[in-house]
Amino acid sequence: MSLGKQHRWKVLGAGVAANACFSCMVGGVPATAVYLRSSYQLSGSELGLVLGILGLGTAISEIPWGLLTDRWGDRPVLLTGLLSVALVLLLLAADAAHAPSATSLAIGLCAAGMLGSSVNAASGRAIMLWFQASDRGLAMSIRQTAVPGGYAMGALLMPWLASTYGFKAVFGTGAVLCLMGFTLVACWIHEPPVVPARSDAVRASPLGDRQVWRSAAAISLLCVPQFAVLTYAAVFFHDALGVGAMTVSIILALVQVGAIVGRLWSGRWTDRRNNRRAFLKGCAVLSTLTFGGLGIAVPLLDSSPVATALLLPAAVLVAGVMASVWHGVAYAELAAVAGIQRAGTALAMGNTGVFLVLFATPVAATAAVSHWGWGMLWGLCGGCALAAAALFPAVSGRSRTLAATP
């Protein structure tokens, strides 16, 4: 099969679709938190576990999938992952239709996460192989728009499905979406006709590279504020501010729309200026300020009708967008540092930490809110962003040299 240069856009489209399908479930399940609590009769701690276990399943399987991607290639890994996730979601739909069980829900979501993590490293490696260095920041940012895009779709669609048709419709819809992604991958994702520079292929494994681990840790910490908004903003709006379910869905969707626009802009901007590391540090500092300010504002303003109706929801919206715009740039930089032929493993290392955070954040958020209130939760998010700012490596010749190579 002869594939021209323009085929890279089909590869990018299939990668975006694969990520969006999985992200719709990752973002949609937390958005149904109120309905999960009632439908499955979950306690507060059980709800936190269920909301996070999809991330735990993803985290523990990321590096194995990344290693398999570097060895086998992107196509077989993506096809295996998407098809198996669809089957697990169909089983969850059948369980929800007959005898919904919190245990089977947790096991099923964990399995879906373990299998769905295949789309993260594989789709990213395919895009890095097909695109030149001068376009990779934009390409990876476009790919990363699939995450907030899928989250937005899940935030709007899944609560409505849960309230109207139940969780059999939620999981059945997720299965259909994964099968659609499977079809696009089968049609479009192939290895490029020209393999990038062989110098990448002989590098040592990223698993032994301190700089890769440091960048992965910074990415993980900067995800804490994002996942706090993703998993607990709905509960915050409902329980603390008394905001209606439809308004909550709209606000969460707006966060993801803002993240999409921000990721596209940041990818193109950093490609032109070759300043990925400076941009990442700046995003971490701004997230520190926005979430720290929110943590201070909540206990001071929660008795004000204007604040609870307008100011605090708007602040969460702004903070949520700020915590979500940097992902494509971070993953492009992480893959460049590791070398393109090792990108699957490097991206999996980053995603392992990210999804461990996705698991831990709801559990920790439950404890923080129960003991100290919402202000402490948002303040802790600001502290994690500050730690990420310290961990992101300084601009160095190594980064600039890699950014200049194809």
Is the CB of residue 342 less than 8 Å from the CB of residue 200?
Answer: yes
The whole-number average pLDDT for the span 102-109 is: 90
Residues 6+ away with beta carbon under 8 Å from 48? 362, 363, 365, 366
Architecture of domain 6-188 in this structure = Up-down Bundle (1.20)
Q: Are 84 and 21 a contacting pair, CB within 8 Å?
A: no
The per-residue pLDDT for 170 is 95
- Other CB atoms within 10 A of residue 99 CB: 8
For 289-327, the pLDDT digits (tens) are 999 998 888 877 766 666 666 788 888 888 999 888 998
Report pLDDT for 399.
Answer: 45
Identify which of 185, 153, 164 has the alpha carbon closest to the alpha carbon of residue 25. 153
The mean predicted confidence, pLDDT, of the chain is 85
**Residue ranges covered by each domain of the chain:** 6-188, 210-391
- Is there a shared CATH topology between the 6-188 domain and the 210-391 domain? yes
DSSP state of 124: H
DSSP for residue 205: P
Report pLDDT digits (tens) over 130-144: 888 778 888 888 887
pLDDT at 332 over 60: yes
**CATH of the domain spanning 210-391:** 1.20.1250.20
Alpha-carbon span 157 to 304, nearest angstrom: 31
Residue pLDDT, tens place only, 11-43? 999 999 999 999 999 889 988 988 998 888 888
Measure Cα distances from 324 to 249, 258, 315, 379 in Å. Answer: 17, 8, 14, 17
How many angstroms separate the CA atoms of 344 and 38, rounded?
40
Q: What is the pLDDT of residues 355-400, one digit of tens each?
A: 888 788 888 998 999 899 989 999 999 999 999 999 998 766 444 4
| CA dihedral sign of residues 384, 386, 390, 392 | positive
Print burial letters for 231-270: b (CB count within 10 Å at least 16), e (below 16).
Answer: bbbbbbbbeebebebeebbebbbbbbebbbebbbebbbbb
